A and B are shown apart, each in its own frame.
Chain A
Amino acid sequence: MTLTPGGTAHRRTLRWQTARVLAVRDETPRARTFRLALPEPRPHLPGQYYVVRLTAPDGYTASRDYSVASPPDDTGEIELTVERLDDGEVSEFLHDVVVPGDELEVRGPIGYFGWDASSPALLVGGGSGVVPLMAMLRHARRIGRPDLVRLVVSARSPEDLYYADELPGPETTVIYTRHAPPDAGRAVGRLAIADVAPLVRGGETAYVCGSSGFADAATHVLIEAGVQVQDIRVERFGPSG
Chain B
Amino acid sequence: MAGITRGFVGRRRERDSRLPPGQYDARDEWPVLHAEATPNITTDRWTFTIEGLVENTVTWDWDEIHALPRSRYEGDIHCVTTWSKLGMTFDGVSVDTLLAAAKPQPSATHVMAVSHTGYTTNLPLDDITGGKAWVVWDADGEPLSTIHGGPARLLVPHLYFWKSAKWVSGLRLMDHDEQGFWERNGYHDRGDPWTEQRYQGD
Secondary structure call for the B interface: loop
CA distance A233 to B35 in the complex (A): 7
Question: Which A residue sits closest to B12, measured CB to CB?
Answer: A60
CA distance A46 to B201 in the complex (A): 23
Interface contact A11-B179, CB-CB below 8 Å: yes
Q: Which of the four size classes fits the interface of chain A?
A: 35 or more
Secondary structure call for the A interface: loop
Residues of B within 8 A of A (CB): 1-13, 22, 24, 26, 29, 31-33, 35-39, 81-83, 117-119, 179, 181, 184-186, 199-201
Interface contact A89-B11, CB-CB below 8 Å: yes
Interface contact A212-B31, CB-CB below 8 Å: yes
Interface contact B185-A9, CB-CB below 8 Å: yes
Interface contact B5-A54, CB-CB below 8 Å: yes
Given contacts A212-B29, A238-B83, A241-B13, contact A13 B179 (CB under 8 A): no
Interface contact A63-B185, CB-CB below 8 Å: no
Interface contact B37-A229, CB-CB below 8 Å: yes
A84 at interface by CB-CB < 8 Å = no
Q: A238 is contacted by which of B31, B117, B199 (Cβ under 8 Å)?
A: B31
Q: B199 is contacted by which of A7, A8, A60, A107 (Cβ under 8 Å)?
A: A107
Interface contact B82-A240, CB-CB below 8 Å: yes
- Given contacts A60-B9, A62-B8, A107-B199, could you give 12 more A-B pairs where the C-beta distance is less than 8 Å? A7-B35, A10-B184, A14-B199, A57-B4, A62-B11, A89-B11, A97-B7, A102-B6, A105-B2, A110-B186, A212-B29, A238-B81
Chain B residues in 8 Å Cβ range of A61: 2, 10, 22
CA distance A230 to B117 in the complex (A): 11
